A = this chain, B = another copy of it.
């Protein structure tokens, strides 16, 4: 076990995969500047600074991925992905299908998002749900350094385009990472960092820690909360959510992204559908507001659901008489 930050874990995974597979390529605005050591180890051909032009960075990754390379592109902040949207959604997401399976697009697009830097909504916009909605793409958003490493390795090896979101608020937080080199975590498997009987808290990214904190606080009330960390947003580990719900009968979904048509809506809809027989109370969603992130640090922090709010929500739910009981 080593201790490292999520950012370091991402770099470690990249280095490991670049060492393992010569077709992996790392490109973006400043990646070669920021990682001169990687240029030294893997060559300037494989670690490339690009022009300041997200559309062509992504488009080039799509073309290269279909032609035998495995590009990892750093698009910096998630809102900048809007410039890359055509390449990601219309090309990477659709051209396998429209060509009848002639091409595949093994590429990873990295983007930072979430509260933690305080520079406003043109840098912090949790828009991962847009890509979950788009066909042909996979979407990952890890909550710990170990998961970031294992999932990024899986994403790089995956034959499909993967959007990989890094939560700004987690980037510099240290955590334990196993030393084994080939710690690959399959995409599509949720984790259960805390098990419990009374209520299920489903989340991803930095709000997993919020849920864990809330769960710890609820213990004092005699409420035993289970926490599910989705880790991969597409494919979604629906079975894991349903399994937990079957046990607890109560569900709170927590995300930093705004609510409408977000991942929490998808989870709540899953619960209302296949999870309905288990539901003993309304499904609660705690999400960021339908608002851009403000530049003001304190306001930005206030957008993130807090452990306090999660606890209040859970207490309200547990108070709800079980309809089926």
Where the two chains meet, the residues of A that have a C-beta atom closer than 8 Å to any C-beta of B are: 79, 82-83, 85-86, 89-90, 93-94, 97-98, 120-122, 125, 127, 129-130, 132-136, 234, 236, 257-258, 260-266, 268-269, 271-274, 276-277, 279, 281-285, 289-292, 294-295, 323-324
Contacts and interface: CB of A to CB of B under 8 A. Distances in A.
A89 B127 CA distance: 10
10 contacts: A79-B90, A85-B85, A98-B121, A129-B261, A130-B134, A234-B260, A236-B260, A261-B262, A261-B263, A277-B323
Given A133-B257, A135-B291, 4 more contacts: A89-B125, A93-B292, A135-B292, A271-B272
Contact of A121 (B94, B257, B266, B284): B94
A86 to B, nearest CB: 4
A291 B273 CA distance: 21
Which 7 interchain pairs have the tightest Cβ spacing? A268-B269, A276-B282, A272-B272, A82-B85, A272-B283, A265-B269, A82-B86
B89 A86 contact: no
Contact of A98 (B122, B274, B324): B122
A98 B82 contact: no
A89 B82 contact: yes
Contact of A276 (B136, B281, B292): B281
Contact of A133 (B86, B93, B130, B136): B130
A271 B79 CA distance: 31
Given A269-B283, A272-B271, A276-B282, A97 B292 contact: yes
Nearest to A134: B127
A292 B94 contact: yes
Contacts of A97: 121, 291-292, 294
> Which of A127, A271, A292 has its CB near the most chain B CB atoms (within 10 A)?
A292
A303 to B, nearest CB: 11
Contacts of A265: 261, 265-266, 268-269
A258 B290 contact: no
A289 B135 CA distance: 9
Contacts of A264: 269
B285 A269 contact: yes
Contacts of A262: 133, 261
B133 A292 contact: no
A277 B136 CA distance: 37
A279 B280 CA distance: 12
